[in-house]
Amino acid sequence: MTAVGPFGLSVRDQALEADVQTGLAAVEAGLLDATKSDVPFITEAAQHLVRAGGKRFRPLLVMLAAQFGDPHAPGVVPSAVVVELTHLATLYHDDVMDEAEVRRGVASANQRYGNSLAVLTGDFLFARASHVLADLGPDAVRIQAEAFERLVTGQILETVGPRDGRDPVDHYLDVLAGKTGSLVAVSCRLGSLTAGAGERVVDILTQYGERLGVAFQLADDVLDIASDSHESGKTPGTDLREGIPTLPVLRLRARAAAEGRPEDAELVALLDGDLTDDARLAEVLRRLREHPALEQARRDTVRYAQEARAILAPLPDGIAKAALEELCDLVVHRAG
């Protein structure tokens, strides 16, 4: 038994493993090539996060989705490069908006180069993604444009917050469907489409990708509170400290408003205070780990992962389908 990709997927098929590993290696080369510029500084800034590594979750899904057609079709690797470039570009912009200092274990681009250059570098990556995309044809351009519109819409909705009377949890799930689910969905869609899979298969994989993308983000929300730094690779409470809304916190606030329990109100007050204080953050984490809101967020995560898995049911059984199902199981395991 061997592992495919950074998620440690267990596979028992040498052909699949070879296809995925070869594809991901080609994607790395494609990312470095796409981020080169005649201006050395632009190359340095554009490759800052490329060289920092990352899960390459979206390229992995492109490779797995391509197994339902011809995985060696010429458009598969460029599709993976496009979705990863787009993802990287959003990270440059996100870090400016969030005033982040670290990304993937290195200084964020805005910390290293300043906000203006970080934004412009993100724009450069979007431009390069479009350049690669143009060779995939008008259908691929339209698909990516629609996904990008949803991604930006999700970011805007997150920034402006829910409208009056809107359930904050429903609003948050819509935000994640746009910000995260749309690009994961398009990874599955472009991977299967460029491999020549049938329309029904492409549609199934697209729906699967959107729910899986939301499930992975929800699992991260749970991990930010429930895990220790050894398990998750990042400091617990990072999102809390930065004031980023996550599902457990939204579930807590909803319970506090609906049930009026004094201990919930006290915890909300702690959350709304200065969480740069280590002792205060530790107390918030301790209480949240014991609160039913965290378990409710876990159940939400599992539900999305199970929905993603169920969507795959009509696809023919095989090692590629099993690998996609295993990704759903990994989400459940991470959130557990």
Residue of 248, 252, 274 lying closest to 264 (CA atoms): 252
Confidence at residue 76, expressed as pLDDT on a 0 to 100 scale:
97
Domain ranges of the chain: 13-197, 199-317+328-335
Q: What is the mean pLDDT of residues 236-244?
A: 84
Residue 238, pLDDT above cutoff 50: yes
The CATH number of 13-197 is 1.10.600.10
Compute the 3-state secondary structure of the chain and give helix, strand, coil in percent, each to the nearest 5: 75, 5, 25
Entry pTM: 0.91
Residues 6+ apart with CB under 8 A from 101: 107, 108, 111
For the stretch 133-160, pLDDT in tens is: 999 999 999 999 999 999 999 999 998 9
Confidence at residue 244, expressed as pLDDT on a 0 to 100 scale:
83
> 273: how many CB neighbours lie within 10 A of its CB?
12
DSSP state of 39: S
Domains 13-197 and 199-317+328-335 equal at CATH topology level: yes
Confidence at residue 7, expressed as pLDDT on a 0 to 100 scale:
55
The CATH number of 199-317+328-335 is 1.10.600.10
Tell me the β-bridge partners of 106: 103
For residue 274, give the 3-state DSSP assignment. Answer: coil
For the stretch 159-196, pLDDT in tens is: 899 998 899 999 999 999 999 999 999 999 999 999 99
Asked if residue 88 lies in contact with residue 110, where contact means CB atoms within 8 angstroms, the answer is no
